[in-house]
Structure 1
Amino acid sequence: MAILERILMLGDEAETGYLEVKSDVDLNKPLGRAKVAEFLLGAANRDPKSASRFFHGHAVMVIGAH
Structure 2
Amino acid sequence: MFNLKTFKQKSPQQRFLFILGLVMFTFYLILGLLLIFWKDIPFEIQKTYRILFGLLLIAYAAIRFTRLINQKND
TM-score w.r.t. the length of structure 2 is 0.32
More helix by share: 2
More strand by share: 1
Structure showing greater radius of gyration is: 2
